[in-house]
Amino acid sequence: MKKHIPDMGDETSRVFAGQGVIETNKLHYGESAEFFAREIKKRLPPSSEPYVLADIGAFKGELLGEILHLLPEYTFNTIGVDINTDALDQNTVASSKVVCDATNLSLKNKSVDVVIMRYVLQWNNPADQVKILKEVARVIRKFAIIECTGPDDLHAELWRKNIDNLLNGEKVSKMKRNNYYFASESEIQDWLSKLDITHEKLRSRVIPDLSGVYIERYSLDNQEAEMAKELLRGTDYSNQSDWILIAST
Ligand SMILES: C[S@@+](CC[C@H](N)C(=O)[O-])C[C@H]1O[C@@H](n2cnc3c(N)ncnc32)[C@H](O)[C@@H]1O
């Protein structure tokens, strides 16, 4: 079945590129490129041969562009993968582009040195998230770095109930999303372990003001912004986690 492509918010591209002006967006998006670049440098020796780097859920290339900028000593053949054809059409960063569902990547086994994937899992149901993790592990020759956002383990149920009330679009229509599931860290950990994927959690932190992410991305007016805050009251934060998946030998 073809997946619905949602409205992502009129300021989304700027925010994804790390140019969000409010603190929560600096933390959610503005620090990822440096974090990813640091991990890549740590784990990948510079080489005269280009590495293959795939960005899964690449959107318009905002994150990939930032990362490449921070790694001038490397040469990469880059692949942007997304299910959103329009976004990929506007992606001028990736040297090649693949429109496909990450649950079934049209990339060969071990054909990619490094995968990067930020904030993709949550826009899929849990069964599909497991498939995506399996696919990422299948295509990597070296490692994947994955950044996720979701609830903390302690308040996961309430957190998800509140975000459902925001994303069902009843109170803030432009926010309507479906087919999402925000997994907690322990769920992700559990999936990776069950899939027998060698992995490590690189970072975990709570970022306050989740409503702020949407207020800036969707240019919510005052009334909508107040509603978003009200709906997320008590769980207006997110738990950001970064993972490394190591290729099987
Ligand atoms: C929140 S955006 C993040 C974009 C980019 N990774 C970043 O962090 O700047 C999620 C992206 O993942 C894509 N996506 C979500 N689920 C996907 C799937 N199953 N297959 C391919 N792309 C997917 C969406 O179309 C969207 O472009």
* pLDDT classification of 92: cutoffs 50, 70, 90: very high
CA of 55 to the centre of ligand 1 (A): 9
- Quote the tokens at residue 182: 């925000």
Mean per-residue pLDDT for 186-190? Answer: 98
Residue nearest to atom 24 of ligand 1 (CA): 57
Mean per-residue pLDDT for 158-165? Answer: 98
pLDDT score of 7: 72
With vertex at residue 211, the alpha carbon angle to CA 29 and CA 3, rounded to the nearest 5 degrees, is: 70
Which atom of ligand 1 is closest in space to residue 62's alpha carbon?
Answer: 9
Residue nearest to atom 9 of ligand 1 (CA): 16
Residue nearest to atom 1 of ligand 1 (CA): 119
Crossing angle of helices 32-43 and 62-70, in 10° steps, is: 50
Decide whether any atom of ligand 1 lies within 6 Å of the 25 Cβ.
no
Decide whether any atom of ligand 1 lies within 6 Å of the 36 Cβ.
no
Mean per-residue pLDDT for 235-243? Answer: 98
Burial (CB < 10 A; 0-12, 13-18, 19+), residue 92, is exposed
Q: Which residues does 106 contact at the CB level (< 8 Å), separation at least 6?
A: 98, 100
In the predicted structure, residue 1 carries a pLDDT above the cut 60: no
CA of 48 to the centre of ligand 1 (A): 31
pLDDT score of 8: 74
Decide whether any atom of ligand 1 lies within 6 Å of the 101 Cβ.
yes
Decide whether any atom of ligand 1 lies within 6 Å of the 28 Cβ.
no
* pLDDT classification of 65: cutoffs 50, 70, 90: very high
Q: What is the pLDDT of residues 198-213, one digit of tens each?
A: 999 999 999 999 999 9
In the predicted structure, residue 245 carries a pLDDT above the cut 70: yes
In the predicted structure, residue 192 carries a pLDDT above the cut 80: yes
Residue nearest to atom 13 of ligand 1 (CA): 57
Task: Evaluate whether 55 touches 64 at the Cβ level (below 8 Å).
Answer: yes
In 3D space, the residue among 165, 159, 190 whose CA is nearest the CA of residue 177 turns out to be 165
Q: What is the pLDDT of residues 107-149, one digit of tens each?
A: 999 999 999 999 999 999 999 999 999 999 999 999 999 999 9
- Quote the tokens at residue 61: 């290339």
Residue 228 host element (H or E): helix 222-231
Parallel/antiparallel/unpaired status of strands 237-246 and 140-150: antiparallel
Decide whether any atom of ligand 1 lies within 6 Å of the 218 Cβ.
no
Percentage, residues of the chain above pLDDT 70 = 98
Mean per-residue pLDDT for 70-87? Answer: 97
Whole-angstrom distance, CA of residue 106 vs CA of residue 165: 35
CA–CA distances in Å: residue 50 to residues 31, 44, 77, 108, 114: 25, 11, 6, 18, 12
pLDDT score of 12: 87
In the predicted structure, residue 6 carries a pLDDT above the cut 90: no
Decide whether any atom of ligand 1 lies within 6 Å of the 145 Cβ.
no
Q: Which residues does 182 contact at the CB level (< 8 Å), separation at least 6?
A: 122, 149, 150, 151, 159, 160, 163
